[in-house]
Amino acid sequence: MKGRGCWDTASVRSFCSSGCLTKFKKDDSGDDDEAATPADKSELHHTLKNLSLKLDDLSTCNDLIAKHGAALQRSLSELDGLKIPSESGEKLKAVNERATLFRITSNAMINACRDFLELAEIHSRKWQRALQYEQEQRVHLEETIEQLAKQHNSLERAFRGAPGRPANPSKSFSEGSLLTPKGEDSEEDEDTEYFDAMEDSTSFITVITEAKEERKAEGSSGTSSVDWSSTDNVLDGASLVPKGSSKVKRRVRIPNKPNYSLNLWSIMKNCIGRELSRIPMPVNFNEPLSMLQRLTEDLEYHHLLDKAVHCTSSVEQMCLVAAFSVSSYSTTVHRIAKPFNPMLGETFELDRLDDMGLRSLCEQVSHHPPSAAHYVFSKHGWSLWQEITISSKFRGKYISIMPLGAIHLEFQASGNHYVWRKSTSTVHNIIVGKLWIDQSGDIEIVNHKTNDRCQLKFLPYSYFSKEPARKVTGVVSDSQGKAHYVLSGSWDEQMECSKVVHSSPSSPSSDGKQKTVYQTLSAKLLWKKYPLPENAENMYYFSELALTLNEHEEGVAPTDSRLRPDQRLMEKGRWDEANAEKQRLEEKQRLSRRRRLEACVPGSSCGSEEAEKEADTYTPLWFEKRLDPLTGEMACVYKGGYWEAKEKQDWHMCPNIF
């Protein structure tokens, strides 16, 4: 049989030899044929050869059945046309019917064989690609292990041969980092940390040394002396600042999250490729906080900026600013639920001058696309402002969340003005498996007064990566491009910095790329995440600060997120009522938009693009659009008046949005 989708002998042998059948040849230990003995391999090839021959025989039989079946049918048709006795005609008719049934059965078998071979042909290519990928990964892992073993051996020899070696053995700076090989006769200082430049690799080695010995090494290499003790005063224990003791007793728990079942796919299957802010979602996917409150959570480790105020060195200050920018992601590691989309004109204040030393205000300034303006004033001498537009897309298996907009941070005393943007967040396993979130991408922090820069790299998670999960690396450089600090850590746990005393190019790698090797002093802890409160897993994994954000407070604006009824009902565990209230609020917002559309600009039709744009335009109450001179973008900045209105309790200008 030579039908559609059938293979010839060469195709069958190609399929068999491609490795797609090797899974059938496994021993009890689970090793594949690469670990088999020569006798096993010989037997395997013999089996594959026999399978190929049998498949050839089957193909020949198919041809013969088709050929002889057709001949038999023709002969019976000829007999049927002859004049024969009636009794013989009945027997001939029975034989003809049986021959027809045989032909139908044979054709069905042939079609089944054809369909099987066609399916195998289609999937064989997928199997071959999958097998090739697994083989390449295995070779890669074997080479990595071999390289690590060689490097470990070299380090042991160098350590034994080093005169006056320290009592403590050398230790790796971070889990999973690769070691830089060094020979026994290496002239490099054995008591030095080495960092590969982050632009090419995040692998490095650290050998702890005393600062005193490092100064000798610096002097011998002709490098200018570095006073590490001045950094000790500011950067040492930056993360160990105790949490402020509040004069106001705040809540430490919220009602436990109820266990509601929901068919996720029934809702999400129609959302692929759509902007998530335009999809009506039940509160089952939310956490009882709004996006404005989540934005305010970035201030949880504000003490890093309070510490940075006292830095006399701008590159030291940059280290703390970088740690602060990374710390804002620490609350997201378990927070896979979606915050509430704020209503247009919704606000959220955080008035914590007494215990945190700051005042923060957020306002939802646009609904499509969703955009929030944020301003923070600290009595310790810094201010922060941003307008963040959230762009999110559902991709079928994951959700991408892209915050757009620049973050500004200014220190009043020094005039140092830092600008950076957020990285991309991705929520994986939307349909099947356990939900988890990852951060990826590069962040560049620029001090526009001194032109110092910090390049941060968020490494995306990979099953085959040699790096630890959620790793962040960075290099702090001055305006001349000279590296001063190397940063390393993880966005969900901690960040450390190490002062660079010397940098030099390494030998070219196998792919021809040349890396920069940073010789540094011992690492200093910049920031460490606070432990989660007790029972956090049943309270949406909220931090101590997050637990207080939706706590009822007197005197806030009537547009404050704390007063949003659907969010409050969800926090109390009354999700059915919350869903009904959420639909009411969304319909109220759509009605407000229709009214703005009806009052469209004179001379234009209400269905025109100009009118649609006019309907989506909102004039913020506490912020105003201005041209950002540093980024060249239009952004909302705080224009004042909110705290004065709160002091007077004069909220007549606030819209009725709830």
Supply the pLDDT for residue 267: 58
> CA 655, CA 579: separation in Å to the nearest integer?
23
> CA 60, CA 533: separation in Å to the nearest integer?
73
Q: In terms of pLDDT, which residue wins out, 552 or 20?
A: 552
- Tens of pLDDT, residue by residue over 631-643, are 999 999 999 999 9
What is the three-class DSSP state of 43? helix
CB contact at 8 A, 419 and 446: yes
Indicate if the alpha-carbon torsion angle 123, 129, 130, 131 is positive or negative.
positive
pTM, full prediction: 0.66
Q: On the CB side of 645, how many CA atoms lie within 13 Å of its CA? A: 16
Supply the pLDDT for residue 164: 52
Neighbouring-strand partners of residue 439: 425
User: H-type helices in 272-395, by residue range?
Assistant: 291-296, 303-308, 314-327
Neighbouring-strand partners of residue 375: 361, 385
Token pair belonging to 515: 């890396």
Give the pLDDT band of residue 590 (cuts 50, 70, 90).
confident
Residue 197 scores a pLDDT above 50: no
Highest mean pLDDT among 258-267, 423-432, 494-503: 494-503
> CA 626, CA 629: separation in Å to the nearest integer?
9
Supply the pLDDT for residue 194: 41
The DSSP secondary structure of 89-107, one letter per residue, reads HHHHHHHHHHHHHHHHHHH
Kindly state the DSSP code that residue 411 receives in the 8-state scheme. Answer: E
In this prediction, residues 461-469 reach a mean pLDDT of 78
What is the three-class DSSP state of 347? strand
- Tens of pLDDT, residue by residue over 478-505, are 999 999 999 999 999 999 999 998 887 7
CB contact at 8 A, 515 and 203: no
- Residue found by looking up tokens 């999400």 in the block: 268
Residue 382 scores a pLDDT above 80: yes
Supply the pLDDT for residue 100: 79
Q: In terms of pLDDT, which residue wins out, 397 or 240?
A: 397
Give the pLDDT band of residue 281 (cuts 50, 70, 90).
confident
What is the three-class DSSP state of 559? coil
Phi (first) and psi of residue 425, to 5 degrees: -105, 140
Distance of CA 574 to the CA centre of its chain: 32
**Among the listed residues 336, 399, 361, the one whose alpha carbon sits nearest the alpha carbon of residue 561:** 361
Supply the pLDDT for residue 612: 60
Residue 142 exposed, middle or buried by CB count within 10 Å (0-12, 13-18, 19+) = exposed
> CA 282, CA 427: separation in Å to the nearest integer?
18
Q: In terms of pLDDT, which residue wins out, 330 or 513?
A: 330
> CA 349, CA 374: separation in Å to the nearest integer?
10
> CA 421, CA 408: separation in Å to the nearest integer?
9
**Among the listed residues 250, 237, 243, the one whose alpha carbon sits nearest the alpha carbon of residue 356:** 243
Supply the pLDDT for residue 9: 39
**For the ranges 89-98, 261-270, 387-396, which has the lowest average pLDDT?**
261-270
User: H-type helices in 342-499, by residue range?
Assistant: none
> CA 128, CA 15: separation in Å to the nearest integer?
9
Residue 74 scores a pLDDT above 50: yes
Highest mean pLDDT among 182-186, 272-276, 534-538: 534-538
The DSSP secondary structure of 576-596, one letter per residue, reads HHHHHHHHHHHHHHHHHHHHH
**Among the listed residues 402, 411, 475, the one whose alpha carbon sits nearest the alpha carbon of residue 440:** 402
Supply the pLDDT for residue 99: 78
CA angle 555, 557, 560 (to 5 degrees): 115
Whole-number Cα distances in Å, 526 to 195, 236, 317: 18, 7, 11
**Among the listed residues 412, 361, 354, the one whose alpha carbon sits nearest the alpha carbon of residue 382:** 412
- Tens of pLDDT, residue by residue over 392-422, are 877 777 888 889 999 999 999 999 999 999 9
Looking at every residue in the chain, the average pLDDT score rounds to 77
**Among the listed residues 23, 45, 260, 15, the one whose alpha carbon sits nearest the alpha carbon of residue 116:** 15
Give the pLDDT band of residue 614 (cuts 50, 70, 90).
low
- Residue found by looking up tokens 């949003």 in the block: 564
Residue 86 scores a pLDDT above 60: yes
Supply the pLDDT for residue 244: 52
Whole-number Cα distances in Å, 217 to 189, 220, 223: 7, 5, 9
CB contact at 8 A, 472 and 461: no
Residue 249 exposed, middle or buried by CB count within 10 Å (0-12, 13-18, 19+) = exposed
- Taking the alpha carbons at both ends of the chain, their separation in whole angstroms is 74
Q: On the CB side of 569, how many CA atoms lie within 13 Å of its CA? A: 15
* Exposure b/e, 19-50, CB count within 10 A at least 16 = b: bbbbeeeeeeeeebbeebeeeeeeebeeebee
> CA 34, CA 55: separation in Å to the nearest integer?
26
Q: On the CB side of 653, how many CA atoms lie within 13 Å of its CA? A: 11
**For the ranges 48-57, 203-212, 436-445, which has the lowest average pLDDT?**
203-212
The length of the chain in residues reads 658
**For the ranges 69-78, 154-163, 519-528, 608-617, which has the lowest average pLDDT?**
608-617
User: H-type helices in 492-601, by residue range?
Assistant: 544-549, 565-571, 575-598
> CA 501, CA 521: separation in Å to the nearest integer?
7
CB contact at 8 A, 205 and 192: no
CB contact at 8 A, 589 and 616: no
Kindly state the DSSP code that residue 168 receives in the 8-state scheme. Answer: S
Supply the pLDDT for residue 359: 97
pLDDT > 70 fraction of the chain, expressed in percent and rounded: 68
The letter for the amino acid at 108 is A
What is the three-class DSSP state of 33? helix
> CA 485, CA 471: separation in Å to the nearest integer?
17
Kindly state the DSSP code that residue 275 receives in the 8-state scheme. Answer: B
Token pair belonging to 89: 């005609």
Kindly state the DSSP code that residue 456 receives in the 8-state scheme. Answer: E
